[in-house]
Amino acid sequence: MGVTIYDVAKEANVSMATVSRVINGNTNVKPATRQKVLTAIDELGFRPNAVARGLASRKTTSVGVIIPDISNLFFAELARGIEDIASMYKYHIILSSSDQQKTKELDLLDNMLEKQVDGVIFMGSSVTSDHIEAFNQANVPVILAATVDDTEQLPSVNIDYYEAMKDAVTYLSEQMDQEAVGFVTSPLNAKINDMKRQGYVDAIKASGLAFNEDYIYPGDDSYQSGLDAANYFLKQQHPPKAIITSSDEMALGVIHGAQDHGVSVPNELSVIGFDNTRLANMVRPTLTSVLQPMYDIGAVSMRLLTKLLRGEEIEQEQVVLPHRIVERDSTNA
């Protein structure tokens, strides 16, 4: 624009320091002076230059968000949670999609650090030692959202994927009496997928069933791979009587795939999704799903970051949010 703090100072007959105090809400300003300055600001249409402020104060009030794919419903919801809390605390979001590519993730981090973000929220497929090193080098807090790191060195917000999956399988097997349960995995987050898989295996065994590798289908998180999974399972000699998927979108695929095979859900096949996105209500039969509070994960991550940024007390750096099964019509209650 051109109008600076200096112009305002002249207009209001004060020093630039006083103007600075006013725009920063410093209390040490006589009300009359403040008013004079405010008037001048208004008349001149002064807008403080956040870049200059950032340089002088070494704080930018902006945080970087690295997300696998903003067009994915799951992450978009999470992003919204981050955003709402960020704006509540007057932070801005610099948002970039990484497509889960490690190089891109690291590059984005670097770019964001160049922009002097005050902190970073990271969502990604896996946290390698390269990641950890980069995060440590960052000199600003980094928080993992819906992303697991074995070493637990970084603050993070997640649900207990192992228990969640175990609960889901148990829920299913309780109503089915020793019937096979299929599992459609997702490559989205390597570690999380491992935890889910382990939960699945343990629950299967706990319910007295034999674990069978054939009952695991590697999905890619898309609707189409749900369709494919249904096809895969239903062509087996002893198809599972229930299928649990790693995401709702794949669950819809499974349901429709089953219906295409003339298999009725939930009578002949129970299906349970994961995440409890809005999709769960947008299918017939409606989808039973493991609720993962995406919005909350985002919101809590951002809240945690603000605490770190303001030096507030942190009780727990590894936050585990509750999950639960939301029963709908794709399973027999």
Give the binding site for a second copy (CB under 8 A): 1, 45, 47-52, 54-55, 60, 62, 69-73, 76-77, 79-80, 83-84, 87, 92-97, 110-116, 137, 139, 223, 249, 252-253, 256, 259, 278-279, 281-284, 295
Angle at 232 between CA 181 and CA 291, to 5 degrees: 45
Nearer Cβ to a second copy (119/199):
119
* Residue 181: CB atoms within 10 Å: 24
- Residue 91 CB, shortest distance to a second copy, in Å, is 10
Which of 7/220 has CB closer to DNA?
7
Output the six-digit token pair for 85.
Answer: 């809390």
Quick one: 93 or 190, whose CB is closer to a second copy? 93
Contact of residue 14 among a second copy, DNA, none (CB under 5-8 Å per partner type): DNA
Distance of CA 280 to the CA centre of its chain: 18
Q: Tell me: does residue 210 bind DNA (CB under 7 A).
A: no
Q: Which residue has the tokens 């990641």?
A: 131
Neighbours of 34 (CB within 10 A): 18
Question: Which pair of tokens denotes residue 319?
Answer: 């936050």
Give the tokens for residue 204: 């299967």
Contact 157, 148 (CB under 8 A): no
User: 69 vs 179, which CB is nearer to a second copy?
Assistant: 69
Contact set for DNA, span 54-73 (CB under 7 A): 55-58
Residues 4-43 that bind DNA (CB under 7 A): 4-6, 13-18, 20-21, 23-24, 27-30, 32-34
C-alpha 70/C-alpha 74 separation (Å) is: 9
By CB under 7 A, how many residues form the interface with DNA? Answer: 30
The per-residue DSSP string of 51-69 comes to HHHHHHHS--SEEEEEES-
Binding site for DNA (CB under 7 A): 2, 4-6, 13-18, 20-21, 23-24, 27-30, 32-34, 46, 48-49, 52-53, 55-58
